[in-house]
Structure 1
Amino acid sequence: MDLNQIMKLAQDPQMQQLLKGLLGQISKGGGQPNLQGLVNQLQGAGMGDQVQSWVQQGPNQPVSGKQIQDALGTGALDQLASQAGMPPEKAADDLAEVLPVIVDKATPQGQLPTPAPPGTDIDGLLKQLLGGLSQPKS
């Protein structure tokens, strides 16, 4: 999938709902929504090499929908997919396409951005992350 297709997918209202749900789920412990929580969860699920390739400069290693499903857990993915109005398999496959690009574009210097300041809502973080899709990574 090329960047234009991924950008189109990321702008889809169902995908945005899915991403909002995912970021909200990660920040449930009272913490602010942040990319670090998502990265930590994916790395903890055995996707460390792939996630590091997204953060660092250079090509992004792909992940499968199955890997995303395993990392998030079937129950969590089912809930997120239901909220977004899509089948869980499609949600996992779409996240597998979009997450590498979002993380890549959100880390232009090869480092995760600082967590969102207190009071930042999930909509604000999502807008910041999706806004990075249109910026070339140096």
Structure 2
Amino acid sequence: MAETAKNSSDMTEEMQALLEATTRGLSSGGLKREVDSWLGSGPNEPVTAKQIESASGPNKVAAACRETGVSLESFAAVLPDIIDEVSPRGKVEISSRSAIPPKRIEQFIDDNKALIRRMYGDFMQP
């Protein structure tokens, strides 16, 4: 039982770190207004694959998508809602109280973990 709790805690910490790195990377790349809308209480501004590519560097994004097989379009379509739902108080907080079922957040991270690490790994805090 303790091992399951530890694994769950490690997974939660990893999900939080990956999503925080994503918000930092996109904000510093010129999408601060969009990211702030996802973290805030108002409507979420959409983001396109082209905007993410521009904010993160086209070569870096192309290589990350090619290496991981992840569609940047599908990543961009879901990201605002995921960030919005895990940031009820204006910052990323992964918890079981999220309106998005934890399995959906977990699936998003599983599907996009390699892409996020390649694009925003530099923004992950030790």
TM-score > 0.5 by shorter chain: yes
Q: What TM-score comes out, normalization by structure 2 length?
A: 0.56
Q: What TM-score comes out, normalization by structure 1 length?
A: 0.52
> What SS does the aligned partner of 2:46 have?
coil
> What SS does the aligned partner of 1:34 have?
helix
Unaligned runs of 5+ in 1: 1-23, 25-31, 115-125, 131-138
1:93 and 2:52 are equivalent in the alignment: no
Identity value in percent: 32
Q: In the alignment, which residue of structure 2 is the partner of 1:108?
A: 88
- Structure with the higher fraction of residues in helix conformation: 2
Q: In the alignment, which residue of structure 2 is the partner of 1:55?
A: 39
Unaligned runs of 5+ in 2: 1-13, 95-104, 110-126
For CA contacts below 8 A with separation 6 or more, give which structure has more relative contact order: 2
Does the CA-based 8 Å contact 1:35-1:112 persist in structure 2?
Answer: yes
After superposition, the CA RMSD in angstroms is 2.8
Q: In the alignment, which residue of structure 2 is the partner of 1:68?
A: 52
Does the CA-based 8 Å contact 1:62-1:100 persist in structure 2?
Answer: yes
Q: Quick one: distance in 2 between partners of 1:56 and 1:69? A: 23
Q: Quick one: distance in 2 between partners of 1:47 and 1:61? A: 10
Q: Quick one: distance in 2 between partners of 1:101 and 1:53? A: 11
The number of residue pairs the alignment matches comes to 86
Task: Label 1:106 to 1:47 Cα distance change in 2 as closer, same or farther (>3 A).
Answer: same
